[in-house]
Structure 1
Amino acid sequence: MDPTTHISHFSIEVSDGSCNGTANNVDVDPFMDDEFECTVPLKASSSNGQSINHHKASKPNGVSYYEDSSYSGKPHKAEGCNFYLATELYSVIVSSWCVLRGSKIWWLLPAVIASLVVKALNFSEAWLFSLSLLGIAPLAERLGFVTEQLAVYTGATVGGLLNATFGNATEMIISLFALQNGLIRVIQLSLLGSILSNMLLVMGCAFFSGGLVHMQADQKFNQTAAVVNSGLLLMAVMGLLLPAVLHSTHTEMQDFTSKLNLSRFSSCVMLIAYASYLYFQLRSHRQLYDTQDDADESNEESEEVTLSLKGSIIWLAGLTIVISILSNYLVDAIEEASNSLSIPLAFISVIILPIVGNAAEHASAIMFAVKDKLDISVAVAIGSSTQISMFVIPFCVVIGWIAGKPMDLDFHLFETATLFITVIVVAFMLQEGKANYFKGLMLVLCYLIVGASFYVHSDSTSEEAGKT
C-alpha cells in the first residue's frame, strides 16, 4: 500500500488503562491538523476490508504519526482524526475524574458548592469564611497537580517557571483581593503565616514522621539546595527588618514616605534576586538539584500523565477562576468572621489561613518523608517559603505601587523578629543535611510557641488604619 494513500472510514480501538472505546467510520485526512489524545496502539480496518495495524508515536512538536505494519517505508502523517462527540465527552469525564477525585482531600470539595450557596442566601459571614477556606484547600492542591501536568508538555525550564509562578498561586490570589480591599495587614500577616507554617509546622511534621518510620538512621536530604534557600530567606528577613527598624526608631527622613520608598526599592531588588535564583536552579547549576530531581522521578504518581495539553490549560484556567471567587468571599468575610468567632484577626491570618489553605501540601510533605524522599519534603517546605518571601511579598508591593496602594515591607517588629528567629532556627536544623524525629519535634514545638504568641498578640495597626 502506498504510504500516501488516503484512508477513510475505518474503525479504531483505543485502550490504555484510562481510555477505552471504539470509534467507527472515522474519516482520516492526512492533511488536517487534528490528532488522537491517547498514545496507544491502534487497530484499523480500511474500507476495502484490509486489516492494518497502526501505532501512534508522539513527537516533541505535537505531530503524530501512525506506523503501518502492513507495508515498509516511511510512516505517513495521519492527522485529522475526529472522534465522535461521545468519545470527546468520555474524555472530559475521565479527565474530570482524574483531577477532582485524585485530590488527597477531595472530600472537602462540597465546601466549594456550599460556599456559593451561603453567599447567594446571605448567611452569616462566619459560615462564608469557613466554607470558602475549606473549599480553597482541595482546589489549591489540584492547581498544583494541573501545573505539574502542564509542565510535562513545556520542558524543564518552562515547567520550572510554571511551578514557580503557580506554586503559591492561592496565596497570591488572596493577597491581590485583600490589596484591592485595602487590607494591607491581612496580606502581611497571611503571607508571614505561610512562611512560618511551611518552615516550622510542615517541615517539622515531615522530619518527625519520617524519623519515626526510619528511626534506625538519620534521613538525608540535599544539603546544598537547603543552604541556598536558607541564604535567600535571610535576605528576605533583611528586606523586611530594615523598614520595620527604620519606622520603629523614628529615623525616617520623611515620615511614612521613606519607609514606603525603601520597601519598593527593596522589593525590586528581591525580585531580581529571585529571578537570578531561578536561573541558578533551572539552568546554570541544575546539577546541585540532581538529588531532588531523582527523587521526583522515582515518584510514580508524579510521573503519570493523565491530562492532555489542552486539558491542562483548561483546568488551570478553571481552577484559577474558582479559587479567585472563593478568595474574594474569604477576604470580604474575614473581619466579620474574626468578630463573630471572637478570634484575633492576627491569629486567623497567621495561623488558621495557612494551615487550612495548605493542608494538602502539608500532607504531601509528610507522605514523602515517610517514603524516605526527604528532598521533596524539604523542597515543599523551604521552597515554598522562599517563593513567598522573595517573590509573592515583593510582587504584592510592586502591584500596590502600580495600583496606588501603600503596601510596604514594614511587617512590624514583633512579626519580623518572629520570622528572623524562625529562619535562624531552621538554618541550624538544615546545615548538616540530615533529619531525625527529634529535630522535627523541636520545629513543631517552636510553631506552637509562635501560635500562642500571635493569639495573645495585640496588633497595633487596626484594619481601619490599614485601609485606603
Structure 2
Amino acid sequence: MGSAGENIVLELEEDDLIESTPVIGKIRNFQISRVPSSSIAIASLSSSSSFSLRRASKAIFSSVNTVVFKAKMNVLIPFGPLAIFLHYLTGKHGWVFFFSLIGITPLAERLGYATEQLAFYTGPTVGGLLNATFGNATEMIISIYALKSGMIRVVQQSLLGSILSNMLLVLGCAFFSGGIMHYKKDQFFNKAGVAVNSGLLLMAVMGIMFPAVLHSTHSEVQYGNPELSLSRFSSCIMLVAYASYLVFQLKSHRSLYNPIDEDVEHDSDGTEEEEAPLITQWEAIIWLSLLTILVSILSGFLVDAIQGASESMNMPVAFISVILLPIVGNAAEHASAIMFAIKDKLDITLGVAIGSSTQISMFVIPFCVVVGWIMGEPMDLNFQLFETATLFITVLVVAFMLQDGTANYFKGLMLILCYLIVAASFFLHVDPDDN
C-alpha cells in the first residue's frame, strides 16, 4: 500500500509540473508584452536620427575638406575680405582693386572645380555648357552692376576682353599644357562642332562691326541715334540666333558634339583609368551657387575701384577693363580648360573656351544691350573701330588654328603670343571716349 500511495503522489506532482510550464511561459510572455511599443519606436527613431546626423556631418566635412582645404590656392581667399575692409576703412582704390583681384582668383578657380565635378554627371556637351555658363556669371553680374553706374565703356571693354582672353589666353594655355603633357602626338577634337561656333563668332563680329563702321565713316542718317537703334535690333536677332543654337546643340544635332572616337595608344596593359567625382551632384550644385554669390559680391567692390586704380597705378582704364578684369573673371574657364586638356579631353576644353566666347558674344553682350534699353542706358554695339578690328582679327586667327581638328603645344604658344600683342596694344591705346 505504501509504495502504491507514493506512486500516486509522484504522478500527481508530475502532472502539476507539466501543467504549470505553459502557465509560466504565458506569464513571461505577458510581462514582455507589457513593454510599451512607443518606447521601442522612440529608441529606434533616436538611434536612426543620430546615425543620420553623424552621416550628414561626415558628408559635409568631407565636401568642405575636398573643395576648400585641399586647394592650395585657397590661401588667397582672405584677400577678398581684406579688400572689402580697405574699401570701407581707407578708400584707397588701388589696394582695393589689387586685393579684390587676388581674392576673386581662388573663388573663380573653385568655381571651375565644382563645375568639373558636376560635369561628371552630365555629358561633355552639357558639361562644357555648364562651365561656360557659370564661368560667365561673374561677367554678367559685373556688367549689370556697371550699367547701373553708367559705366558703359567698362561693360563693353570687359566683355570684349573676356572674348579675347578665352580665345587666345585660355585656349592657348590649354593647348600648350595639353601639348606638353602629350608631347609626342597631336591631340584631336571634333571640328564639326567648332565650325558651328566659329560661324556664330563671325556673326557676332558682324553685329558689332556695322555700328562701329557707321559711326567711323559718318554714313548714318542724321536724325535720331542710328547706331543705338541698329544695336538694339541686332541684339534681338543675336539672342534669337543663340536660342536656336542651344536647340541645335542640345536637341536636334546633339550627336554632332559628341567626342570623336580616337584610336589612341593606351598603356601597355591596354587599360585606361576611369575618374570618379569626389563630391555628389547636389553638393556640386550647392557649391556652384555659393561660389557664384561670393564672386559676385567681391566683383562689385572690384568695379567700384577701377577708376581710382587707374589713376593711382597710372594705367589706362581700357587696359584694366580689357586685360586685367577678364584674366580674373576667366580664372574658372582657365583652370578647367587646362585640366581637361591635360586629361586629353579637348572637346570639353573647346566647349569651355570657345563655348564661353560664343556665349559672351551672342548672349551676354546682346543681353546687356537689352538690359540697358530697359534701364534707359544707351548701351550699344559700337565698341569703337580699334576694339572691333581686334576682335575680327582674333576670330580669324583662332578659326584658322582650329580648322584641321588638331592641337599641339606650338599652336598654344602662338595663341599666347598673340594675346601678348593684344595686351601691349591696349596698354598703348587711348580710348576716344576718355576725357
Fold match by TM threshold 0.5: yes
Q: SS in structure 2 opposite 1:409? A: coil
Give 1:119's aligned amino acid.
H
Aligned to 2:52: 83
Out of 212, 222, 238, the position equivalent to 2:190 is 222
Give 1:195's aligned amino acid.
I
Aligned to 1:72: none
8 Å contact from structure 1 (residues 177, 327) kept in 2: no
8 Å contact from structure 2 (residues 132, 355) kept in 1: no
How far does residue 180 in structure 1 lie from its aligned partner after superposition?
Answer: 1.0
Out of 288, 296, 304, the position equivalent to 2:277 is 304
C-alpha distance in 1, partners of 2:372/2:67?
A: 34
Change (3 A) 1:104 1:353: farther
Aligned to 1:440: 412
Aligned to 2:352: 380
8 Å contact from structure 2 (residues 188, 346) kept in 1: yes
Q: SS in structure 2 opposite 1:105? A: helix
* Bigger strand share: 1
Q: SS in structure 2 opposite 1:419? A: helix
How far does residue 284 in structure 1 lie from its aligned partner after superposition?
Answer: 0.9
Aligned to 1:173: 141
Aligned to 2:48: 26
Change (3 A) 1:452 1:153: closer
Q: SS in structure 2 opposite 1:440? A: helix
Greater alpha carbon shift after TM alignment, 162-171 vs 150-159: 150-159
Out of 215, 239, 248, the position equivalent to 1:271 is 239
8 Å contact from structure 1 (residues 271, 391) kept in 2: yes
Q: SS in structure 2 opposite 1:411? A: coil
C-alpha distance in 2, partners of 1:206/1:263?
A: 34
Change (3 A) 1:146 1:338: same
Change (3 A) 1:459 1:95: same
C-alpha distance in 2, partners of 1:423/1:362?
A: 19
8 Å contact from structure 2 (residues 109, 335) kept in 1: no
Greater alpha carbon shift after TM alignment, 314-323 vs 379-388: 314-323
Listed one character per residue, the Cα deviations across residues 242-267 of structure 1 (whole Å, up to 9, x for unaligned) are 11011111122245621111111111
C-alpha distance in 2, partners of 1:129/1:392?
A: 24
8 Å contact from structure 1 (residues 104, 360) kept in 2: no
Q: SS in structure 2 opposite 1:291? A: coil
How far does residue 123 in structure 1 lie from its aligned partner after superposition?
Answer: 4.3
Change (3 A) 1:256 1:437: farther
How far does residue 156 in structure 1 lie from its aligned partner after superposition?
Answer: 9.5
Out of 369, 377, 401, the position equivalent to 1:429 is 401
Q: SS in structure 2 opposite 1:306? A: coil
Aligned to 1:101: 69
C-alpha distance in 2, partners of 1:157/1:365?
A: 14
Corresponding position: 1:345 with 2:317: yes
8 Å contact from structure 2 (residues 129, 355) kept in 1: no
Aligned to 1:138: 106
TM value normalised by structure 1 = 0.75
C-alpha distance in 2, partners of 1:157/1:447?
A: 27
8 Å contact from structure 2 (residues 174, 341) kept in 1: yes
Within a 5 Å distance, the mapping from 1:355-370 to structure 2 comes to 355-370=327-342
TM value normalised by structure 2 = 0.80
Aligned to 2:425: 453
C-alpha distance in 1, partners of 2:237/2:303?
A: 29
Aligned to 1:202: 170
How far does residue 220 in structure 1 lie from its aligned partner after superposition?
Answer: 1.1
Change (3 A) 1:263 1:118: same
How far does residue 119 in structure 1 lie from its aligned partner after superposition?
Answer: 2.3
% identical equivalent positions: 63
Listed one character per residue, the Cα deviations across residues 375-405 of structure 1 (whole Å, up to 9, x for unaligned) are 2222221111111111111111111111111
Aligned to 1:413: 385
Change (3 A) 1:93 1:443: same
How far does residue 279 in structure 1 lie from its aligned partner after superposition?
Answer: 1.0
Q: How many residues align?
A: 390
Change (3 A) 1:150 1:291: closer
Aligned to 2:364: 392
C-alpha distance in 1, partners of 2:416/2:431?
A: 24
Q: Any stretches of 5+ residues in structure 1 without a counterpart?
A: 12-22, 28-80
8 Å contact from structure 1 (residues 134, 357) kept in 2: no
C-alpha distance in 2, partners of 1:153/1:203?
A: 24
Give 1:456's aligned amino acid.
L
Give 2:431's aligned amino acid.
D
Aligned to 2:9: none
Considering only aligned residues, what root-mean-square deviation do their CA atoms show, in Å? 3.1
Change (3 A) 1:286 1:10: farther
Change (3 A) 1:276 1:101: farther
Change (3 A) 1:227 1:112: same
Aligned to 2:373: 401
Q: Any stretches of 5+ residues in structure 2 without a counterpart?
A: 1-36, 265-271
Out of 208, 224, 228, the position equivalent to 1:240 is 208
